[in-house]
Amino acid sequence: MEIIIKPNAAEAQQEVARILRRQIQRQPDSVLGLATGSTPIPVYAALVKMHQQGELDFSRVITFNLDEYVGLAADHPCSYRGFMQQHLFGKVNLTPKNIHFPDGLAKDVPAHCAEYEAAIGGAGGIDLQLLGIGRDGHIGFNEPSSSLASRTRIKTLTPQTVKDNAKCFGSPDQVPRHVITMGVGTIMDSRHCLLLATGEAKADVIARMAEGAITADVPASALQMHPSCTVVVDEAAAAKLKRHEYYRWVYENKPPWQRV
């Protein structure tokens, strides 16, 4: 696990955007796993700007999103499909057939989840998976106690996650209680995982994820076992890392071929 500490949130977000840019430029037909939520919004804005400036071509890129609420149509204002349309899909030249998303209205959820897994495999697997992290250590919607070998499936949200996600819905009572999410095992199959976290509210969970025990109580801790995982944080989110000086040293002394 490589941990990159940037001075502030804006620089952390730009670093993640640069890593994604390098991936797409090196491999124009990259298969990207994408995340939603407030954390990646500035990253998507940076990618859109790069596209508008002629630096990025998304025409051959294939995408798979991490999760979606059960019971929400793609055009619901709080759906994650709508979120992606607003912040990325509608602003770059992604080919519609290359966009893949869990279907919140699937009539047979287990069958749909199996089909989603098959589609990821059929695309050759995910080259780079973008991730955020919840304050309880969840990645995707793999809440604490999720199997670290889990695959795409339905999950029940914790009360804390319901509360955290209530802004769009107006109140926690309106938030769906179930989601379809890639599993921890699905995420771990990605060739490169890229996690972004900013702010002091994430400091405790980042320390537990990166330097604590590998446990289903902190599903993101499974990333310690990933062969290629990059974690980008700002100073606030890095505040409780015991080895923060070493992480800075490693980043500052990268060989030129490893730099973005």
Q: pLDDT tens across 201-228, in order?
A: 999 999 999 999 999 999 999 999 999 9
Q: Which residues of 137-166 are buried (b: 16+ CB within 10 A; e: fewer)?
A: bbbbbbbbebebebbbbbbebbeebbebbe
Residues of the chain with pLDDT under 50: none
Beta-sheet pairing, 99-100 with 67-69:
unpaired
Q: What residues are labeled active site? A: 67, 136, 138, 143
Tell me what percent of the chain is helix, strand and coil, each rounded to the nearest 5.
40, 20, 45
Beta bridge partners of 234: 6
Q: What is the CATH number of domain 2-253?
A: 3.40.50.1360
The residue among 56, 200, 184 whose CA lies nearest residue 129 is 184
- pLDDT given at position 39: 92
Instruction: Tell me the pairing of strands 62-65 and 99-100.
Output: parallel
* pLDDT in the model for residue 259: 77
Q: What is residue 132's predicted lDDT score, i.e. its pLDDT? A: 97
Task: Please tell me the pTM assigned to this model.
Answer: 0.96
Would you state the structure tokens that stand for residue 216, as one six-digit string? 């289903």
